[in-house]
Structure 1
Amino acid sequence: MDTFITIRFKRKTAKRFQEFSKTHFKTHTETMEAILDFFFYNEISPKEKLGPTGRTIETKLLKRINAVIAIMRDVEKTQTKPTVAMLESLFQIEEPKKKPLILEKKFVEEKKEVRFREKQNLKNEL
């Protein structure tokens, strides 16, 4: 059986360690060994910053995604929709307007009013 040694910690730090130890390991010794092994095997110092956290990376990604969405919407409004409208207008099939042939004569409908009247002989009527 291994012997124990006393290490002095501030009360606040000791309480934090005990709570962490209870939630993750069976004994305080296992907890301390795991913590030391972690830093030793990963060759990092507890004083080092490991870089951006998951939350900061997520917020940066969301900002970039929103920027890409805004760019795509702008491209759609300024380039895609007008181009599609022009192409659709080119490919729309319209019936060609019937133009009369030059040789074809148009018959004018007869009007009921007479344009010319015969002169009536006024002497005969008197």
Structure 2
Amino acid sequence: MDEEYKKEKFETFKIKSSVAKKFRRFSRSISKSQSMALLSMIEFFELNGVSPNEVLGPKMETLESLIKKRINGVIAILKDIEKSQTKPTVAMMQSLFEETEPKKKPLILEKKFLEEKQEVRFREKQDPHKEL
């Protein structure tokens, strides 16, 4: 038993024997005294605003839908990160490490050959009235 309640006196309740047996089994399963087990249950109901007569179905469904929405949000964030960061980075890394054929460089022509090729295709028109 908890030290705070050690000096308090005991009270008795009238409950059916089958309920008492079930409660004692439950108290042992959570490894507390019967008083502490009952106190834990009362605090749980008060803290969560739940009544033992209330059905938890709709509340659990609401919680489940909220969790699903948040998981879908996390999935969307991860997909965005993958699309905008991971895939481009992987593509860059692959292009860096990929063996590619070197580009063919144009041949360097000899100077003589270049001079022969340069023909004058157009000449400046000379003005007949202009004196030389």
Greater relative CO, 1 or 2 (CA 8 Å, sep 6+): 2
Rg larger in 1 or in 2?
1
TM band (smaller chain): 0.3 to 0.5
Instruction: Return the TM-score normalized by structure 1.
Output: 0.39
More helix by share: 2
